[in-house]
Structure 1
């Protein structure tokens, strides 16, 4: 399994993302994480039909403020028959301060009718490796 977390998505904390305490609203951050994890699952399972099944304890460590640039890291930790388990870390892009961790996010692979279906994957793959070199 992958040993290092990849941080592909960056977000800029804007005024509309703030809570009454003038820090990033947790619900907005969870929305961004769920979207990033879904995209990661879609790419890994090579199927646009995936759903969030489970998110474990969410550990908020620090509160980003307006103007901060954050980055979201997702890493696969296990492949089940129909599922993909990942973990997540969010950190400040500029100073690397940890903002949030989630130990377990589980997504399920679905068929076109919305039923769980085996995905046949057992390891992380990269899009660049799925196509012949040009």
Structure 2
């Protein structure tokens, strides 16, 4: 698992309980995963097709730094599947984990199309 992105938890990222809002972290994960997949494919027009269960393990608080890690799980004909862990940068405690995030490569008409990649281009 490689950790590419870090976020500082700010007041606007908090929920009513004063901890990191789940919707915010999922938005960060979706963006980071898309960037990761585009770098893996080295090209593309992709969409998020599926996210498996999101396991909220621990919370994050104001002022903490989290980091988002990605790892390629598999390449399909038109898809790529990654897994994600969001953790506290300093304690290494897991905030959330997602075992499968599936992206599909699309053609100019929005239809699934082969990406012709069998291993990562860049990491």
- TM-score, with normalisation over the residues of structure 1? 0.89
Asked whether 1:103 is paired with 2:99, we answer yes
Aligned equivalent of 1:130: none
Structure 1 residues without counterparts, runs of 5 or longer: 128-134
Asked whether 1:37 is paired with 2:37, we answer no
Query: CA-to-partner distance for each residue in 1:45-102, whole Å, 9 max, x for gaps?
Result: 1224100000000000001000010000011110000000000000000111111100
Structure 1 stretches of at least 4 aligned residues deviating more than 4 Å after TM superposition = none
Please, which of 37, 41, 50 is the counterpart of residue 46 of structure 2? 50
- TM-score, with normalisation over the residues of structure 2? 0.97
Structure 2 residues without counterparts, runs of 5 or longer: none
Query: How far 1:115 sits from its partner (Å)?
Result: 1.1
Please, which of 66, 71, 76 is the counterpart of residue 72 of structure 2? 76
What is the Cα-based RMSD across aligned positions, in Å?
A: 1.0
Higher Rg: 1
Aligned length: 123
